[in-house]
Amino acid sequence: MDARLLIVSLNYRTPEMTLRSVRSALREMAGLNAEIVVVDNDSGDGSFELMQAELAAADWARGAPVRLIQSGRNGGFGAGNNVGIRAGWSDGSRPDYVYLLNSDAFPDPGSIGFLKRHLDTHPEAGFAGSYIHGEDGEPHVTAFRFPSIASEFEGAVRFGPVSRLLKHRAVPIGTPPTGRVDWLAGASIMMRQSVLDEIGLFDETFFLYFEETDLCLRAARAGHQTHYIRESEVTHIGSVSTGMKTWARVPGFWLDSRWHYFTKNHGRGYAVLATLAHGAGGVLWRVRRLLQGKPPADPPHFLRDLLTHDLRAMTRPVPGQSHAGGARPTPAVIGAKAE
């Protein structure tokens, strides 16, 4: 039998858009041995009931391999997706591949099949992700290098000669051809279940941001590559649930996630140096901005918030690391295949 695929769609207060995404995924599942599990991430706004009613009544959902479950708590992006991954297939078995699809992402024709075929034929790849573009056709940057001390300085200083010198350390890659990258944004990414069994699921200490970076780094350290698949195209609106596009100030959970990523994966000393590098670059950029009359490029108070946050974090005791494999309550399955 063809490899089994589980598609996980995480909803947080965007029920209509989530169901639109699910309908797009169902279209692309034709010919695949696949199921969808929709996880409502404790929206608390009637999202679950709305989706439950639609899946029970809509013609397009009748007989479709779609389940709707509750997370039981809003632990963030990684925790919510972990609920869906742990749910497995409707018969209790485990899939061969898990495909994460954002609720505001819509697979273009052939996109899911491209990812699956790539993993079928490239055993060295543990993860494979799509080329993401907006509704206007403009590409989104979703392929990246791992963050480092050098990348922190390069990204903060915003100075052409420095960026050219450190071009192979900058985190954003752009839109590369099909091939290996360090990590991918989680809007459309397919993962081998066997790799997740080996390295664990998302670290639930991350509420939002850096969780995909951490997961891909753990996979790389275990010998599994992450591949960017240019042929797999997905339309993405972006930041609908998080509100990132309208942030007036960078929230604390982003700062927490950044600090946790560096300390967990490289140690506290490295995290301190990364912050100092960002601070030095940020100060140089702000001096140049004032001298040259350039517009601001960061949210208000960003550098001050970052330095203050990390200074406080430096003085706190190192907490025990959170691991994704820890036991969690099994969510109640509210609807099996919509009938």
- What's the CATH number where 184 sits? 3.90.550.10
Residue 108 lies in a domain: yes
Does the pLDDT at position 334 exceed 60? Answer: no
Q: Where are the alpha helices (DSSP H) in 158-267?
A: 160-165, 193-199, 211-221, 252-266
pLDDT of residue 333: 33
Per-residue pLDDT band for 337 (boundaries 50, 70, 90) equals very low
Does the pLDDT at position 324 exceed 60? Answer: no
Residue 271 lies in a domain: yes
Instruction: Give 29-81 pLDDT, tens digit per residue.
Output: 999 999 999 999 999 999 999 999 999 999 999 999 999 999 999 999 999 99
Mean pLDDT within 286-291: 96
**Encoded tokens for 89:** 């297939």
Comparing 317 with 161, which gets the higher pLDDT? 161
Per-residue pLDDT band for 98 (boundaries 50, 70, 90) equals very high
Instruction: Give 114-128 pLDDT, tens digit per residue.
Output: 999 999 999 999 999
Residue 325 lies in a domain: no
| CB 153 within 8 Å of CB 281 | yes
| CB 125 within 8 Å of CB 181 | no
Same-domain pairing of 262 and 213:
no
pLDDT of residue 316: 85
| CB 213 within 8 Å of CB 183 | yes
Which domain, by its residues, includes 230? 4-247
**Encoded tokens for 269:** 């000393």
Say which amino acid occupies 48. F
Residue 293 lies in a domain: yes
pLDDT of residue 242: 47
| CB 63 within 8 Å of CB 143 | no
Instruction: Give 220-236 pLDDT, tens digit per residue.
Output: 999 999 999 999 999 99
Same-domain pairing of 226 and 278:
no
Residue 326 lies in a domain: no
pLDDT of residue 248: 81
Q: What percent of the chain has pLDDT over 90?
A: 88
Residue 322 lies in a domain: no
Residue 38 lies in a domain: yes
Instruction: Give 149-175 pLDDT, tens digit per residue.
Output: 999 999 999 999 999 999 999 999 999
Rounded to 5°, the CA angle 7-8-12 comes to 150
Among 229, 247, 265, give the residue marking a domain's end: 247
Per-residue pLDDT band for 339 (boundaries 50, 70, 90) equals very low
Residue 270 lies in a domain: yes
pLDDT of residue 97: 98
pLDDT of residue 328: 36
